[in-house]
Amino acid sequence: MKRFRNLPIRRKMLVMTLLICGTVLCVAIAALFVFQVLNFRSNFQRDAATLAAIIANNSTAAMAFKDETAATEMVSSLQARPTVLSASLALPDGFLFAHFGKAENARSLMQFPPVGEHRFSDGHLLLTQPVVLKNERVGTLYLRTDYQRTFLELLGFYGQVIAGVMVVSIGLAMFLSSRLGRTITGPVLQLAQTAKIVGEKKDYSVRAVVSSRGDELGGLAESFNEMLGRIESQDAALSLSQQKMEALIHSIDGVVWERTPDTFRFTFISRQSEKILGYTPQAWLNQPNFWEEKLHPQDAAKATETGHNMATRGEPYSFEYRMVAADGRTVWIRESGTVLVEKGCPVAMRGIFHDITQHKLDAEQLDKLNRQLIDTSRNAGMADVATGVLHNVGNVLNSVSVSATLVGERLRRSKVANLRRATAMLREQNGHLAEFLTSDPKGKLLPEYLGSVADQLAAEQTELVTEVDSMGEHIEHIKEIVAMQQNYAKVSGLYENLPPTELVEDALRLNLTAFERHRIELVREFADNLPKVSVDRHKFLQVFINLLRNAKHAMEEVTERPRRMVIRVALASPGRVKIVVSDNGIGIPPENLNKVFNHGFTTKKDGHGFGLHSGANAAKEMGGSLSARSDGPGKGAEFTLELPTTATDSKHRHPETQATA
């Protein structure tokens, strides 16, 4: 098939003509041959049946009178027919009466069909013809003819005829095709020669010869000449456009390039390469590995691997790396490009190099300032936590101080001194103790006095033990607060999967004394079977304690109604748990509701505006959110902290180490 496609058009037309004529001729001959074969088979069977009927009819007398000589002469007359191999006459009882050719035996007679029918077997036609006289069968004729030899002779004859017809037909077709094909292939060859000249010399001023104007070939030549005229004019315009395009490419603030996807050899580079990196376009084009050699050593392997991966994927891409300029400078490059794919394989890569060195420097400076701001906000939040802890420790220490003062006062008013005087009186009466206790007025009162003192000392002991136990509880509370703060400080930056109610209870324990001192009613509304949340303990403590302190401050001016704080923990949505801090304090004006999370915004006299801002940032870092709601001044406020559950993939969370509790 490939050789046929590469043949000249004249030979192609000759081959196509011969194939068409040969195919049509073969179909016609095959149809005629099949018809003749079927007709021959039918005629052969019909002639044999006619012959058998004639012999059987002429043998009736011989068979009726059992004249063997006459019967033998009758079947022997068939030797004039070369197709007849044998003929046998048999009596009704099966006795073979007369025969011609090879005598049939009992086994061979079994091959013959029933009386009055025919059968083709082993290349022979077998007929069984009854010999009837006055509607009574007096014998049977068994006739065997050679069908196969006759058919082969016919095939040989047909083959000679077909071969002759094919030779004559093909010769005539070749002669007519060669003469008639010149009128078609001539103009086509002239047109092809003109196209070849145009393709080789890029001379669009050449025109094809128009041999005729009335047929399609003439119209094709005229259209080709018209196309050449348009191409000639468009080529001139394209040349001008190309000049403009080159000027535009070289004026772009970036290096426009084209390279091979496998070897990274550059086939085009704009002049901006000299301005940005200090290398001329000729240096890029002449050296095969120029780009790889100018990559920064720390980025070379990754940039090369990324380039090969992008070429394999065949999709638009963009990535960043560093290059070393001609003067030794490190230049940050953002490579953006596309891959030209043909038949599923990348054939070229085209794109642009942007100098993003200044962007990188600005981004580093911005990141540095942002880290400083985050550290400042975090330190402010940590200061809030520390202030809350110290405040609660101070409250407990006040209780410890009160208990210590009470113990001191009790000890100063103790009856131990009176007991010492009674003991001294008893020592003075040493040897006269019985007389002193029974006769002396003071001695008589001494036992009762000692009992009274003992009762008072027992009461004092009970009170002192109670106060000491209270002091011990307060001291344990202080230790618990400090230990909890230390525990949260230790796990800063570590994400854990923890029950949300446990985290809330930890924060509430740190502020419980403050709530009691300010007479705040604390209501817990915790849902059951809540999933664990993935949080940083320290960040959560920073956010939640700030919300509790804000709620406490918001209720300090409330005097006309009981102060009430409600803590709700429930499922906000699949994959998120919400923790709500609701108070009945002073509320938030509508104009301030959208500002409470802004950095530096505060309504407190001594506030710094870091708390809610840093809390919102911390919530976002943990993959959650912090929101506020209020119906207006005097109607309280509600802050909602939403956190992701352990099954949630927090895509916005900063990269942190995670652990499972």
Region 434-442: mean pLDDT is 73
Q: Does the pLDDT value for residue 525 go beyond 90?
A: yes
- Are the beta carbons of 220 and 191 closer than 8 angstroms? yes
Which of the pair, 616 or 420, is modelled with greater confidence?
616
Question: Does 599 or 523 have the greater pLDDT score?
Answer: 523
Contact 296, 343 (CB under 8 A): no
Task: Please give the average per-residue pLDDT across 493-512, as a whole number.
Answer: 85
More confident residue, 339 or 40: 339
Instruction: Look at residue 513 and tell me whether its pLDDT is greater than 80.
Output: no
Residue type (1 letter), 282: Q
Beta bridge partners of 318: 336
For residues 584 and 564, the answer to whether their CB atoms sit within 8 Å is yes
Q: What is the mean pLDDT of the chain?
A: 79
Distance in angstroms (rounded) separating the CA atoms of residues 7 and 15: 10
- Per-residue pLDDT at 650 exceeds 90: no
Number of H helices, E strands in the chain: 19, 18
Determine the pLDDT at residue 43.
86
Tokens 């259209």 -> residue: 223
Alpha-carbon gap, residue 494 to 658, rounded angstroms: 6
> Among residues 9, 76, 279, 625, which one has the least CA distance to residue 68?
76
**Average pLDDT of the segment spanning 262-281:** 90
| The pLDDT of residue 318 is above 60 | yes
Is the pLDDT higher at 597 or at 471? 597
Q: Which of 600, 627, 629 has its CA nearest to residue 613?
A: 600
Domain 2-168 classification at class level? alpha beta
Lowest mean pLDDT among 30-39, 256-265, 603-612: 603-612
* CATH fold group of domain 252-355: Beta-Lactamase (3.30.450)
What is the number of alpha carbons within 13 Å of residue 299 lying toward its C-beta?
A: 17
**CATH class of the region 491-658:** alpha beta
- HSE-CB for 470 with a 13 A CA cutoff: 18
HSE-CB for 235 with a 13 A CA cutoff = 11
pLDDT over 70 (residue 76):
yes
Question: In the block, which residue shows the tokens 């190099």?
Answer: 353
For residue 432, the Cα-to-chain-centroid distance in whole angstroms is 110
pLDDT value at 654 more than 70:
no
Q: Is 201 helix (H, G, I), strand (E, B) or coil?
A: helix
Question: What pTM did the predictor assign?
Answer: 0.34
Q: Is the pLDDT of residue 328 over 70?
A: yes
Which of 68-77, 222-231, 484-493, 624-633 is least confident? 484-493
Q: What is the pLDDT of residue 627?
A: 92
Secondary structure (DSSP) of 7-40: S-HHHHHHHHHHHHHHHHHHHHHHHHHHHHHHHH
In sequence order, the β-bridge partners of residue 522 are 565
User: In whole angstroms, what is the distance from residue 162 CA to residue 26 CA?
Assistant: 9
Q: Report pLDDT for 107.
A: 81
For the ranges 335-349, 396-410, 425-439, 620-634, the lowest mean pLDDT is seen at: 396-410
Scan for tokens 């003992």, then name that residue. Answer: 454
pLDDT digits (tens, 9 = 90+) for 551-599: 998 898 888 889 999 999 999 999 999 999 999 999 998 888 888 888 7
Q: Which amino acid is at 278?
A: G
Give the pLDDT score at 656. 40
- Domain positions in the chain are 2-168, 252-355, 363-481, 491-658
HSE-up (13 A, CA, CB side) for residue 568: 13
Confidence at 298, pLDDT banded by 50, 70, 90: very high
**Eight-state DSSP code of residue 598:** S
Q: What share of the chain is helix, strand, coil (3-state, %, to 5)?
A: 55, 20, 25
Instruction: Please determine, for residue 488, whether its predicted confidence score (pLDDT) is greater than 60.
Output: no
pLDDT per residue as tens digits for the range 209-267: 776 666 666 777 778 778 877 887 777 777 777 677 677 777 777 899 999 988 899 99
Average confidence (pLDDT) over 471-496 = 60
C-alpha radius of gyration, the chain, whole number: 60
Instruction: Work out whether strand 255-259 and strand 96-101 pair parallel, antiparallel, or are unpaired.
Output: unpaired
Q: Which are the contacts of 501, defined by CB distance < 8 A and separation ≥ 6?
A: 526, 530, 569
> In terms of pLDDT, which residue wins out, 80 or 555?
555
CB–CB of 643/576 below 8 Å? yes
> What is the distance between the alpha carbons of residues 484 and 105, in angstroms, rounded to a whole number?
123
Give one DSSP letter per residue of 162-193, joined into a string: HHHHHHHHHHHHHHHHHHHHHHHHHHHHHHHH
* Mean pLDDT of the region 482-497: 61
Distance CA 150, CA 37 (A): 11
Give pLDDT tens digits for 116-148: 888 888 888 898 889 888 888 888 888 889 888
In the DSSP assignment, the letter for residue 324 is: E
Distances from the Cα of 605 to the Cαs of 44, 390, 601, 608, in angstroms?
A: 130, 20, 11, 9
Angle at 492 between CA 489 and CA 494, to 5 degrees: 140
pLDDT-derived band at 413, boundaries 50, 70, 90: low
Query: Residue 613's closest CA among 378, 414, 444, 336?
Result: 378
Band (pLDDT 50/70/90 cuts) for residue 35 is confident
Residue whose pair of structure tokens reads 């043909």 in the numeric block? 342
pLDDT band at 659 (very low <50, low <70, confident <90, very high): very low
The pLDDT of residue 649 is 44
Per-residue CA distances from 76 to 60, 70, 81, 89 (Å): 15, 10, 10, 11
Report residue 271 CA to chain centroid gap.
40
pLDDT value at position 294? Answer: 92
Residue 487 has pLDDT above 70, yes or no: no
Q: Which residue has the higher pLDDT, 473 or 568?
A: 568
Q: Lowest mean pLDDT of 46-50, 111-115, 406-410, 508-512, name the range.
A: 406-410
Whether 643 and 504 have beta carbons less than 8 Å apart is answered as: no
CA 342, chain centre distance (Å): 24
Q: What is the mean pLDDT of residues 426-446?
A: 71
pLDDT at 625 over 90: yes
Which of 484 and 239 is assigned the larger pLDDT? 239
Look at phi and psi of residue 520 and say left if phi exceeds 0, alpha if psi is from -120 to 50, else beta.
beta
Whole-number percent of the chain with pLDDT over 90: 20
